Structure formats: C-alpha cells, structure tokens
Amino acid sequence: MAVYRPPHIAASDITPRNIYMSRRSFIGTAAAGFALAGAGSAFAAPLQAKPGPYTLDEKLTPKDAVTSYNNFYEFGTDKSDPSSNSGDFKPTPWTVKVDGLVGKPKEFGLEELMKMPIEDRTYRMRCVEGWSMVIPWIGFPLAALLDKVEPQGSAKYVSFETVVRPEEMPGQKGLFQPLPWPYVEGLRLDEARHPLTILAVGLYGETLPNQNGAPIRLVVPWKYGFKSIKSIVRISLVEKQPETTWKNSNAREYGFYSNVNPAVDHPRWSQATEQRIGEGGFFKTARRPTLPFNGYADEVASLYSGMDLKANY
Amino acid sequence: MPLIPALPRRLHGPSIWALYVIGLCPAVWSFYLGATGGLGVNPVKEFEHLLGLWALRFIILTLAITPLRDLFGINWIRYRRALGLLAFYYVLMHFSVWMLLDLGMDFGSVFADILKRPYITIGMVCLAALVPLAVTSNNYSIRKLGKLWIDMHHLIYAIALGGALHYFLAVKSITTEPFIHIAAIALLLAYRPIRKPFLRWKRARKTVDSPQPAPR
C-alpha cells in the first residue's frame, strides 16, 4: 500500500519571512518601473537628488498624509478627491512654455526640466485653511529656469498657469465649477527669484504624484499653499501684477501676496494657529502657533520692508 | 388620497423609536471610523463637518413634514419631534467636537471665535435657540404652553436660515454639497409664506370638483 511521505524540505529552501513579506514592495517597484517605461501612468517613479541648502529639524508629515490630503480643485473639492480622481491624469509628455518679457522665450520639455539642478528641499507648507505639513520636496530654484530665458528689465512679475484638461481632471467639468479655469497664480519677480522659491518635480524620493501637482509645480514656502500652483504649463514674465485665481474669486479674503501671517486673520477664521496634519489624533489635536512668513522671516522679511502687511495681505 | 399605505397604528410607537436609533447611526459610525483611523488624516475636522451636515439634514427633514402632507398627503407628523430632537443632538455634538476635540478645550479661543467670527456667532445663536425647543418637545409642554408653544416652535425657521448661512460662510467655495443643502432649506422656507394661499386654493378646487348638495 502506498503511503504518502511528506517531502523533506531543507531549512535553506524555505523563503525567509522578510523576503516573502517584501513581495509587495517588489511589485510596487516593478509597477513604478513600468510607469517610467509606459508614459502617462499614475505611479510615481524613484527620483534621486542631492541635499539642498534648506533643511528642517521638524518631523516630516507622513507620506500617505501628504499624498491623500490635498487641495487640488481640478480633481474635486474634497481633500480626498485629488488622490481618488487623478488616476486618469497623464503627466507625461509635458511641456512648460516660458514667455512674455524675456530675451529667449522657450518651451521646455519635461526631460529637460528634470535635468535642472534638482535637490532635496524640506519645507513647511501652511494652508490658508489653518492646517500645515512638513514636506520633503525635490526641485530646483525657479531662478535657475528664469535665467535660461533672460528676463527683460521691464519684467516685474511672473505669472503661472495650470493645465486645463476636463477629460482627465473631473473637477474641471460638471455643473458646479468651484473656480474658473485655468488656475492662475503670480509672484513679484524678486519673490520668484528668491532662493527659497522652487519648482518641485518630486517628493519623498519620487516624482510628483498626480494629486500633488504632477509633473511640475511651484513651491513658495512662506506663502499660503494656494500660491504654490500645480501642474504648470505656462510661466510668463509680465510688467503688471498678474491675475490670481483666489484673489479674483474673493479679493477680500485672498490677497495677491498671501504671505503666512498669524497677525492678519482671514475674514472668517483666525490664522494665529495651525493644525499639523498627521500629528495628534482623534482625541488630541496638534495645534501649534503659526509663525510669521511660515518660519522663513529671516530669509524673506526683507522683501517686504516698508510694506504694510495688513493692507498687502 | 395618500400615496403610500398607512402604517398600522400599533407600529407608530416602535417606528418612532426606530427613527431615533437609525438617526443616531451616522454619529456612532463616524465616531467609530474616527477613533479607528478611518476618517483620513484630519479626522477631527471630518467628524465635526459630518455632524454639522447631519444636523442640517435633520433640520431639512423636520421642515419637510408639513409640505409632504400638504402636497402629497403623506402624514408623518408623528416623526417630527424625533427629527427635530435628532437635529438638536447633532448640533450639540457638532459644537462639542469643535470645542473639545478641535480647539482642545482652549476656552479662550472658543469665546474669541464665538464673538469674532460671524459664522461661529450664527452657529452659536442657533444652538442656543434650539435649547428651548428641545426642552419643550414633550406633550406636557404642548398642553401647558398652548398657542405660545406653536409660536415658539416657529423659531425653527430662523434656526434653519441661520444653519444654512453658517454652512455658506464656513466653506471656501460653493460646490454641489453645500448647494444642495442650502437650496433644500431655501425651498422649504420659501414654501411657508405661500402655504396658506395654496391650501385655500386647494380647498376651493376641491369644493368645485366635488358634487354640490342639491338645493332644497
């Protein structure tokens, strides 16, 4: 009679737990690799950068919070909308047109922008709604890009424009459009050339996820988050103060400057404190005092010397 | 002619208690989600907003009882007290979460915000106005107060208006969700001034339609 004998398995043949448990990260990496190959996929790809001049001693906001709690109305107005509705968005191929009062207007391909001197920049991010994060961006100074197009002496401001793609951005179609598109923003030229101002192409060691403004976005850490325009397709150097979306929508509540300022309240809520996302919890909120210029006063306060910051909010 | 079959009388009581239980489910479920990390990375704000939204929904349902009877012949007046009380409980929870969890019992900020922020002032006035209505939501008070009870409970119109305004002022931009809630309140309030003329017209039409008694 045949007796079943269990096969002998040598201990060396058994896959160690840490390896079989890492199957998911392997699949993730593989997916990211495919994303790099297959243009336009929503997966973020690894991105290496050298350490930049600005670092922070504060605890980083967890990556899942940075990529799931977003204001990006092109994908919907709920905080979770950008991460859930941005799957169809194609950040490649991509070009950014830089024009206006410049000597050498140019349309930059994403490949060329990724070859700019990218570096790690960990910044605080303060939303006008009263919450904040600490985000490890990867990007390059906007000034480096502006140098390439040779701004003319008459250029005083820089305007920015987000892509309009209703078929890929569900927030741009439908009955109730919260804002007019394209989303537009602007900076004074000296603000735009400040070394803290960067164009970010990644975060947390990867290319930008769609919900964070893929493939390229502005980051101006001393201003409220809405100034840091996402998915940029056009940058123009202009003479007059450009139109900005939230100021057009409600000028009393959102100014052109929108520097983080605990002493100037939003007409409907206080800006004195902020809630640090990812810290505290359901029974203990993590409120902290908001810092003037979001803690970057030493670097940027001189840009506004002599200006009434209450009038120029 | 009623549009839906009438509920047997013996089920009236139990159905009201069922409404209380069902009505409190969103709060319990959201609390469970919040406490177990299911409400995202800013759970307190999310919980606070959900409670406020449900408060508005119960106010809307309270206001819908009368038009439902006038226009569709559905008499759900027996549920109105439960709906009104549920609205009150949700407003109370909304306020408590804001004070205890959001502002972390920083009473300085609580009072400063109530005095300084118009939308919070309005919300607070609405909560205060709901208290006497909730306290008198019993048969004893109805008997005792008589006509005064009716006048007093008309306060719900002002409270509904205040609730809509509170919501309108609290959001950054008017999107589908605020629009639907605010529009529902606006419609239900707009019905009130036209209600009496409408009922007169309806009665007049009925008397014309129905056969007249033969003259003697």
Q: Which of A54-58, A151-155, B64-68, B197-201 has the lowest mean pLDDT?
A: A54-58
d(C-alpha B114, C-alpha B99), whole Å: 11
pLDDT given at position A40: 41
Q: Note the ipTM here.
A: 0.75
User: What are the pLDDT digits (tens) for B158-206?
Assistant: 999 999 999 999 887 778 889 999 999 999 999 999 999 999 998 888 7
| Domain range list for chain B | 9-193
Enumerate domains of chain A plus CATH numbers: 47-304 (3.90.420.10)
pLDDT given at position A262: 95
Q: Which pLDDT band holds residue A33 (cuts at 50, 70, 90)?
A: very low
- Report domain B9-193's class: mainly alpha
User: What are the pLDDT digits (tens) for B90-137?
Assistant: 999 999 999 998 888 888 888 888 888 889 999 999 999 999 999 999
- Is beta strand A157-162 parallel, antiparallel or unpaired with respect to A184-188? antiparallel
B113 vs A contacts (CB less than 8 Å): 269-270
Asked whether the beta carbons of residue A131 and residue B117 sit closer than 8 angstroms, the reply is no
Greater model confidence, A88 or B175: A88
A131 vs B contacts (CB less than 8 Å): 42
Distances (CA, A) of B47 to A277, A282, B95, B128, B207: 15, 9, 11, 21, 52
What does pLDDT average to over chain A?
89
DSSP state of A58: S
Q: What burial letters (b/e) apply to A255-290, b meaning 16+ CB within 10 Å? A: bbbbbbbbebebebbbbbbbbbbbbbebeebebeeb
What global pTM score does this model have? 0.81
Residue A175 contacts B, CB cutoff 8 Å: yes
pLDDT given at position A283: 82
Residue percentage of chain A with pLDDT more than 70: 86
Cβ-nearest to A285 among B101, B116, B175: B101
Asked whether the beta carbons of residue B173 and residue A249 sit closer than 8 angstroms, the reply is yes
Asked whether the beta carbons of residue B40 and residue A80 sit closer than 8 angstroms, the reply is yes
pLDDT given at position A151: 96
Q: What burial letters (b/e) apply to B59-78, b meaning 16+ CB within 10 Å? A: bbbbbbbbbbeeeeebebee
Q: Which pLDDT band holds residue A25 (cuts at 50, 70, 90)?
A: low
Average the pLDDT over A52-63 and give the result: 89
Q: Which pLDDT band holds residue B140 (cuts at 50, 70, 90)?
A: very high
Is pLDDT above 50 for A34? Answer: no
User: What are the pLDDT digits (tens) for B40-84?
Assistant: 888 999 999 999 999 999 999 999 999 999 999 899 999 999 999
Residue A270 contacts B, CB cutoff 8 Å: yes
pLDDT given at position A38: 40
Smallest CA–CA distance from B114 into chain A, residue: A269
User: What are the pLDDT digits (tens) for A244-263?
Assistant: 999 999 999 999 999 999 99
Residue percentage of chain A with pLDDT more than 90: 73
User: What are the pLDDT digits (tens) for A207-217?
Assistant: 999 999 999 99
Greater model confidence, B210 or A70: A70
pLDDT given at position A36: 45
Q: Which two tokens stand for residue B124?
A: 């607070």
Cβ-nearest to B117 among A129, A176, A269: A269
User: What are the pLDDT digits (tens) for A184-211?
Assistant: 999 999 999 999 999 999 999 999 999 9
pLDDT given at position B7: 85
Residues 6+ apart with CB under 8 A from B116: A270
